[in-house]
Structure 1
Amino acid sequence: MLNAETASGHQSAAVLEKRAFSDAFKISGATMPGIFAWGMVSGMAMVKSGLTLWQALGMSFFVFAGSAQLAALPLIAANAPEWVVFVTALVVNLRFVIFAAAIGPHFAHLPWHRRLWYGYFNADITMGFFPRRFPSETLHQPAGKVGYFTGICYPNWCAWQSGALIGILLASQIPESWGIGFAGTLALLAVMIPMTVNLAALGGVLVAGVVAILAAHVPYRLGLLVAVLAGMAVAMLIDRLMDKHLPGKN
């Protein structure tokens, strides 16, 4: 009798995870064409920056971080010092530390190797959708979280890598007049807007955007690095001021 109840419980949990996966796939599906286009931009940029086929494929599969790749590629092409390339990519991807701090505790009950596996797939789009379904109040309620997380991340990875692969293989055949880069920008906007949930986030986005424009001509594309740091600093400052003067409010 106990075994039957246990089996029934496992089946119910599996059904719940599949349903969560389906829900996540539906809600994030609208961003997939843009992610695909952004992957194509990344693939084309890697080849046009001088990387070989295997180097480009390796960077796409192992790095799997479009903004860091696109920030690092001009530096690599310009023969910038390795430390500049490393620091630029590191700072651009510092947001994933924040993402992991927000989402990671929801998976604390899983073994380390599964958390490491899921960490590889974590992306901007995950932070845009996952906390809306599972806010911090659900921290100790694991049901449906793996299904929902993978329902966002796995299709995102497939869309990105398939786009990158096409961009790598057809880089010389795709004319810039197609406006693929603009489609990628729209994809990033679709991810960024849901994440701008309070005044601190809005302030960071606005400051980073303004600084990026003003510093567009800084050598080695380091203006992007400055913009990211400025946006993060302003967001943290606003957040601290809000905590000080408006306790419990965002």
Structure 2
Amino acid sequence: MSNRSKIFFKGVADVSPLMIPVVPFGIIFGVLAIDLGLSPITTMAMSIIIFGGASQIIFLQLFSAGASSLVILSSVGAVNSRHLLYGAVLSEHMSDFKMTWKIIISYFLVDQAFAVTNSYLKKSSDKDKAFHSFGAGATCWVIWQITTIIGIFLGSIIPEKLGLSFAVPLTFLALIVDDLRKLINVIVIIISGLIATVGYEIIPFKAYVIVAATSGLIAAMILTKFKGLNNG
């Protein structure tokens, strides 16, 4: 096995344990998309083009609520904006990468791939280290597409009267469980949740997600600064 293959499969092995919680998430997305009336082709196109679990679930939530296209695109863009931070962090390790590799890796740079890629690039000086990023990202992509297809299949055979739309908020609750360990996180979650709940009916253009998220960020900034002043 060549050195490039070894590095590629190391990326696959490093990210594989992180794929366990992705499987039910991808299936739920596929099921919900079909349940909300999207075609299998549209659902797969979303998974290929957006390729971001949280963003795609938010898309479905806003779509089902009748939000405008501008609000949907803005919300999805806001959620995916964290990838700009990922790119900034990895840029110092990728200065010697060819532009082709940078484009490929930027597409595959989801949360799990970033976690293992960042850890590997910090320690590696191998000239073929880009293959690790490719292996990790490609694994995430394949798993997400396969689970989406499984969800599409299941969604087409589950009776409409079952109504699985409730799984959207439950999925997000599962994602934030780990954040409940810190008081600041709990406060920010409560503030964002209250604003989103109240704003659902009164904020125009269904922009409650953007307003709630922005309010949460401002609250987090204030609380973090206040905590820093107290510690100082």
- Taking structure 2 as the reference length, what is the TM-score of the superposition? 0.74
Say which of 28, 34, 39 aligns to 2:15.
28
Matched, 1:154 2:138: yes
Contact 2:188 2:220 in 1 (8 A): no
Count of aligned positions = 219
Matched, 1:213 2:200: no
Contact 2:68 2:206 in 1 (8 A): no
Contact 2:24 2:147 in 1 (8 A): yes
Contact 2:113 2:140 in 1 (8 A): no
- Structure 1 gaps of 5+ residues are 1-10, 197-201
Measure, in 2, the Cα distance between the counterparts of 1:54 and 1:118. 25
Cα distance, 1:204–1:125 mapped onto 2, change above 3 Å: farther
The corresponding residue for 1:163 is 147
Measure, in 1, the Cα distance between the counterparts of 2:10 and 2:170. 25
1:91-130 residue pairs with structure 2 within 5 A?
A: 91-130=78-117
Say which of 223, 229, 235 aligns to 2:214.
229
Contact 1:49 1:77 in 2 (8 A): yes
Measure, in 2, the Cα distance between the counterparts of 1:183 and 1:102. 31
Q: Secondary structure, in 3 states, of the residue corresponding to 2:58?
A: helix
Question: C-alpha offsets along residues 106-153 of structure 1, whole Å, 9 cap, x if unaligned?
Answer: 223233233112211110112322223333xx69x3545313212321
- Structure 2 gaps of 5+ residues are none
Measure, in 2, the Cα distance between the counterparts of 1:227 and 1:127. 26
**What is the letter of the counterpart of residue 214 of structure 2?**
L
**What is the letter of the counterpart of residue 108 of structure 1?**
S
1:43 CA drift (Å): 1.1
1:96 CA drift (Å): 0.9
Cα distance, 1:22–1:113 mapped onto 2, change above 3 Å: closer
Contact 1:209 1:227 in 2 (8 A): no
Matched, 1:19 2:6: yes
> How much identity, in percent, do the aligned residues show?
21
Measure, in 1, the Cα distance between the counterparts of 2:32 and 2:40. 12
The corresponding residue for 2:68 is 81
Matched, 1:63 2:86: no
Contact 1:208 1:227 in 2 (8 A): no
Question: C-alpha offsets along residues 31-57 of structure 1, whole Å, 9 cap, x if unaligned?
Answer: 223212111111112212221222112
Cα distance, 1:18–1:30 mapped onto 2, change above 3 Å: same
Measure, in 2, the Cα distance between the counterparts of 1:120 and 1:230. 29
Measure, in 1, the Cα distance between the counterparts of 2:78 and 2:217. 10
Cα distance, 1:35–1:109 mapped onto 2, change above 3 Å: same
1:102 CA drift (Å): 1.0
- Taking structure 1 as the reference length, what is the TM-score of the superposition? 0.69
Measure, in 2, the Cα distance between the counterparts of 1:231 and 1:104. 28
